[in-house]
Amino acid sequence: MEHYNYSLGDLLAIMAALRDPENGCPWDLKQDFASIVPYTLEEAYEVADTIERGALAELPGELGDLLFQVVFYARLGEEQSLFNFGDVVQSISHKLVARHPHVFGNADFDSEEQVKANWENTKAEERRAKDAAATSALDDIPRSLPALSRANKIQKRCAAVGFDWRELPPVVDKIREELDEVMAELAEPERDQDKVADELGDLLFACVNLVRHLKQDPEAVLRRANDKFERRFRAVEQALRADGKDSRACSLEELDGYWNRVKRQES
């Protein structure tokens, strides 16, 4: 295939051709707003994975896949006379200018914290303008967000209106308190699984709060922990195969020995 330097206009034209009722792609023609949401989420995670792996040579392709999702939504909107790609560009451009008065206006902020505070205040004003009935700082947080991300967002919104600890010790104390409550439920003679789930949820929520106070992202932190565990477990499997052993036939103490050996080799 001959190489061609495509433009954004070409991409929009390609999308229109894919959705052409007579000559378009059957799969693309079957899609609607709801049906492509899972693909959008998958593409966003693939972008994140590419960055975390440091595979930056792959990033243009992954970002292109993500951009295609935006173009797809815009095409659906245009077909239904709701909005088009130009409206998407207009919306984000207006939002970025409004949220950065220190760059595009006369505002002067002395610190990153002031910039963040202005960002949250501007977003709150936008929410009130969008929905006059909105009364809570937690309005419009998507329920479809991954639970860790939603917990983090809820806590950030609360912090923006002053509902937050200013120091780290009470955050850590809250985790200990929630862990004690989990253990108390587990000690009940007749264990109530709903109560156990509630207490475990409180514990996870408190852990997210600690992660946030340490200025980390809970999704990224847990993905990193998942990757580390997977790397070490694969190394344990490899060591067991080298010794001609089956993990199911090993004692827990023996497996723990392999695990600790892998950890020492990493350090």
266 pLDDT exceeds 80?
yes
Q: Can you tell me which residue has the tokens 């899972």?
A: 38
> What pLDDT is stored for residue 33 in this prediction?
96
| Mean per-residue pLDDT, 216-239 | 93
- pTM for the whole thing? 0.66
Instruction: Please count the other Cβ atoms lying within 10 Å of the Cβ belonging to residue 60.
Output: 10
> What pLDDT is stored for residue 2 in this prediction?
61
Tokens of 94: 């207006």
Separate counts of helices (H) and strands (E) for the chain = 12, 0
Mean pLDDT of the chain: 91
Query: For the segment 198-213, what is each residue's pLDDT rounded down to a tens digit?
Result: 999 999 999 999 999 9
Q: Can you tell me which residue has the tokens 């993990």?
A: 247
Contact 70, 36 (CB under 8 A): no
**Amino acid letter, residue 106:** N
| Mean per-residue pLDDT, 128-148 | 78
260 pLDDT exceeds 70?
yes
N-terminal to C-terminal alpha carbon distance within the chain: 49
Tokens of 130: 């969008």
| Mean per-residue pLDDT, 60-73 | 97
Tokens of 69: 């999702």
Q: Percentage of the chain surpassing pLDDT 70?
A: 97
> What pLDDT is stored for residue 133 in this prediction?
64
> What pLDDT is stored for residue 132 in this prediction?
65
> What pLDDT is stored for residue 116 in this prediction?
76
pLDDT band at 247 (very low <50, low <70, confident <90, very high): very high
> What pLDDT is stored for residue 131 in this prediction?
66
> What pLDDT is stored for residue 107 in this prediction?
79
> What pLDDT is stored for residue 194 in this prediction?
94
Q: How would you class 214 by CB atoms within 10 Å of its CB: exposed for 0-12, middle for 13-18, buried for 19 or more?
A: exposed
Query: For the segment 139-158, what is each residue's pLDDT rounded down to a tens digit?
Result: 878 888 889 999 999 999 89
Tokens of 33: 């707003």
Query: For the segment 229-243, what is each residue's pLDDT rounded down to a tens digit?
Result: 999 999 999 999 999
